[in-house]
Amino acid sequence: MPSLFLLLLSTLLTGALLHLLLSAVISSRGRSRRRLPLPPGPKGRPILGNLLQLGAKPHQTLAALSRTYGPLVKLRFGRVDVVVASSASAAAAFLKTHDANFSCRPPNSGAEHIAYNYQDLVFAPYGPRWRSLRKLCTVHLFSAKALDDFRHVREEEAAALARSLLAPGGEMGVGKEVNVCVANALARVVIGRRVFGGGVGREAEEFRGMVMEMMRLAGVFNVGDFVPGLGWLDPQGVVAGMKRLHRRYDAMLDKMIAEHAAGPGGEGNGADLLSVMIRSLGEAVDGEGGTISDVNVKALLLVVLTSYERRGRTPSSPIHPVMVLQNLFTAGTDTTASTVEWALAELIRQPRVLTEAQVEIDSVVGRSRLVCDGDLASLPFLQAVVKETFRLHPSTPLSLPRIASESCDVAGYHIPKGATLLVNIWAIARDPETWLSPLEFRPERFLPGGEHACVDVKGTDFELIPFGAGRRICVGMSLGIRMVQLLTATLVHAFDWALPAGQSPEKLDMEEAYGLTLQKAVPLKARATPRLDRQAYGAHSKA
C-alpha cells in the first residue's frame, strides 16, 4: 500500500513538473513574441492619435516621418493602428512576402456610401466574388486580345482630342480636354458609345467635376472611420458629401444605361462590357461561386439596371453591371488625364526633352499622320518620359489601404492583426537611397545604359509601383499605360506648346493637390500650335 501511494505521488509530481515546464516554455515564447517591438513612430494625441499631424498633403508628411523614424512607421488614427511602408524593401515585404495576409481592405465610409457597400472591384473583400469581377474586367477590357480589339477606339479618340485642340490662338485647360477624351474612349468600350460630344461641354465639365470631387472625398482621412463615436457627427462632412455625390452618379449612369438599352448595338455588335455583363447576369464566372448579378453590375457600372429590378431579380451573391462603370470611369479617367497633364507640364518646363521626344516620334511616324497604337513600341524615349512621369507624379501617391488579416512579423517588427497598411508610393519613387537626383525629371535614367534601364512599372520592381503590386494591383494597368503613352505621344507629336503670356516654363507652378489621385494644384493651361501636315488631323481639320 505505501509503495502504491508513493507511486501515485511520484506520478502526480512528475505531471505537475511537466505542466510547469510546458507552461514556462509557452510563456517564454509568448513573452519573446510580445517583446518583438512595434515599428517606431511619433506619439499621437488622445482620441484622434496622429490624424491631426497628416496635414493637407499626407503623402509628403508621411515621407518626412520616414526620414525621421525609418522606412516602416507606426501611427495611430483614432483606435486604428496604421503602418506606413516608405521604401522598396518594406513595400516588397508586405506586397510580396505577406501579400496574402494583406489582400483585404479595411472598413471605410467611401466603400459603404459610394461603392454600394463594398460591392465594387476596388473595395470588395478578397474572395470568389472579387476574383469573378477581376476576371470579367481582365478578359473583356484589359487582356492583350481586348486591348488589340479596341485599339481603333483609342486611336480615334486620340485623333478627336487632336482636332479639339486646333482652335487658333486659344489657351486651353489640357487636363479637361484629356479627361473628355479618356471618358469617351472608356465609354465606347464599356457601354458601346461616346458619352460626350466634341470639346468640353456642360455635361463633360459636370462629369469631370464629379470625378474630381469623388477623388477628393476618397482621399480624406475621415475621422468617423477611425473614431466610431464621432461617426454619426460627420465632423468633416465627408459622408454627407459622398451621399450627395452618389445620387448624382446614379442619375448620370442611369441615363447612360437607359440609352444603351434603347439604342442599337454599340461597338462590336454587343461586345461592349455592359452587354457582356447583362448576358452574364446570374451565371458563374469562375466556378467558385462568384456570380454576376444586377447588384454587382450596379456596383461596377454604378446604377441598378431598372429592367432587372422590375423583374424582382435580387440574387443573394451579386456582381452588378453598374459598379464596374463607377470604378472604370472614376479611376480610369482621372488617373490617366492627370498623368498626361503632369507629363506635358514637365515637357513644357524642359524644352530640350520635349524637342527630343518630337524628333523621335517624327522619325518613326513622320508628319503626315498621327501616332498609332502600333507605333508605341518603337518610341523608347517617349516610353521613358512616361515612366519618369509615373515616378515623379504617381496618380495614387498613397496606395489604397489594406488590412492585416492576422498578426505577422515584418522586417523585425510586430504588425498586429487589424492594422491598416499604407504604402507611400510617392516617397518610394523619390527615395535618394534608390534614385540618383530623385527630384529631377530625367527620362534618360530608363534608357539603355541608364541607371534604371531595367526597371518596369508593372509591380515587380518595388522601387517604382505606380499601379501597386501583389494580388490587388490595379486591374486596369495595361490599358492605363497604353492610354497615357498614346495620348502623351499625340500631344507631343501633333503640337508645339507655349504657356500663356507672362508665364515662363521654369516658373510653371508644379504644386500638388492631394486626393485619392494626385492632381496639379493649378491646372495646366497652354496654347497648342499645330506642327503636322493639315491632313494628319483627319476630317474637318482646321489646321
CA–CA gap between residue 425 and residue 445 (Å, rounded):
19
Instruction: Give the helix, strand, coil percentages of the chain, each rounded to 5.
Output: 55, 10, 35
CA–CA gap between residue 97 and residue 426 (Å, rounded):
21
Q: Are strands 420-423 and 80-85 parallel, antiparallel or unpaired?
A: parallel
Per-residue cell: 476: 486596369
Whether 181 has a binding-site annotation, put simply, is: no
b vs e for 228-258, b when ≥16 Cβ sit within 10 Å of the residue's Cβ?
eebeeebeeebbebbeebbeebbebbbebbe
CA 543 to chain centre: 36
b vs e for 322-360, b when ≥16 Cβ sit within 10 Å of the residue's Cβ?
bbbbbbbbbbbbbbbbbbbbbbbbbbbbbeebbebbbeb
Q: How many CA atoms lie within 13 A of 523 on its CB side?
A: 14
**Is the Cβ–Cβ distance between 320 and 280 less than 8 Å?**
no
CA–CA gap between residue 394 and residue 407 (Å, rounded):
30
**Is the Cβ–Cβ distance between 352 and 442 less than 8 Å?**
no
CA–CA gap between residue 110 and residue 82 (Å, rounded):
18
**Is the Cβ–Cβ distance between 495 and 161 less than 8 Å?**
no
DSSP state of 455: -
**Is the Cβ–Cβ distance between 459 and 473 less than 8 Å?**
yes
b vs e for 446-468, b when ≥16 Cβ sit within 10 Å of the residue's Cβ?
beeeeebeebebebeebbbbbbb
- Element spanning 190, H or E: helix 174-190
CA neighbor of 361 nearest in space, from 383, 391, 338: 383
The torsion angles phi and psi of 143, rounded to 5 degrees, stand at -75, 165
Q: Please write down the HEC assignment for all residues of 397-441.
A: CECCCEECCCCEEECCEEECCCCEEEEEHHHHCCCCCCCCCCCCC
**Is the Cβ–Cβ distance between 286 and 128 less than 8 Å?**
yes
DSSP state of 534: G
Per-residue cell: 134: 477581376
The torsion angles phi and psi of 486, rounded to 5 degrees, stand at -65, -45
Cα dist. 353→345, 359, 360, 382 in Å?
Answer: 12, 10, 11, 10
Per-residue cell: 247: 445620387
Binding residues: 474
Binding residues for heme: 474
